[in-house]
Structure 1
Amino acid sequence: MKFSIATFAAILLVPFFQSTNAIQEDDFQLLLGNKWYGSLTYLDYQSQEEVTLASTVSAEGFDKNPRKGLLTFEYPDEPSANYQEDIHVNGSGTKLNGQLVVNRRQLSDGTIRIYTEDEGKDNDKRAIFYYTYEFSETEFSIIKEVQYTDGSPRFIRNKYSFTR
Structure 2
Amino acid sequence: MAVGCLAAATTACGAGETGDPAPSASEPSAEATASGTPTTDPSDPEDDMLIRITIGEERFTATLEDSAAADDLLAQLPVTIDMTDHGGVEKTGPLPSPLALDGQPDGADPDVGDLGYYAPGNDLVLYYGDQSYFPGIVVLGQLDGDAAARIARLDGTVTASVEAG
Larger of the two Rg values belongs to structure:
1
More helix by share: 2
> Above 0.5 in TM-score?
no
Q: Which has the higher contact order (CA 8 A, sep 6+)?
A: 2
| TM-score normalized with structure 2 length | 0.25
